[in-house]
Amino acid sequence: MTDNNRNTPRLIKKYPNRRLYDTHTSSHLTLADIRQLVVDKVPFQVVDAKSGEDLTRSILLQVILEAESGGEPIFSSEMLMGIIQFYGPYQGVLGSYLDKSIQTVIDIQSQTGAQSTEAWSTFMHQQAPVMQDLMRQYVDQSKALYLNTQNMFGLFGAKPAADNEPKKNGDGE
């Protein structure tokens, strides 16, 4: 296989009957097969067979859902609620943070090799609370900055702090 073929994403078509068809191997795939393509770092793109719409993200989310349903899940209910809460003003921040964090883990894993998988797993379990605390602190600081700016400039109907104090008149009322 040439480098050009290896870097060209495999085209997988999704049909209305929910079946996935790999045009490269001329065979049907399951979500487990899609997961294996990801693990093997095989580039691919999933498209709707009729419209040509890119469905890759949707299929990858289904793979995650299937993986979360069996065995020990990565995402706790609290974590999922936190992620949902980030959609909106902090969406870009969280997306970038998660992307960089996961890429760092992948880079370290590839540098250390498979022989240290257990040590890496232990290290990551110890680091999770630290990373969560750092993210919480970042979010708290961002929230405080946002609210202070909002109050300072009277955004969104809030009045500057000096205007919020009740005014006293000379009648003592």
Closest CA to 57 of 67, 47, 66: 47
Residue range(s) defining the domain that contains residue 113 = 76-150
| Average pLDDT value for residue range 9-20 | 93
Query: pLDDT tens-digit profile of 89-110?
Result: 778 877 888 888 888 877 777 7
Query: pLDDT tens-digit profile of 42-72?
Result: 999 999 999 999 999 999 999 999 999 887 8
Query: In the sheet where 10-14 sits, what is the strand order?
Result: 27-29, 20-22, 10-14, 44-48
**65 and 89 fall within a common domain:** no
- pTM of the predicted model, to two decimals? 0.61
Last residue of a domain, one of 48, 74, 100: 74
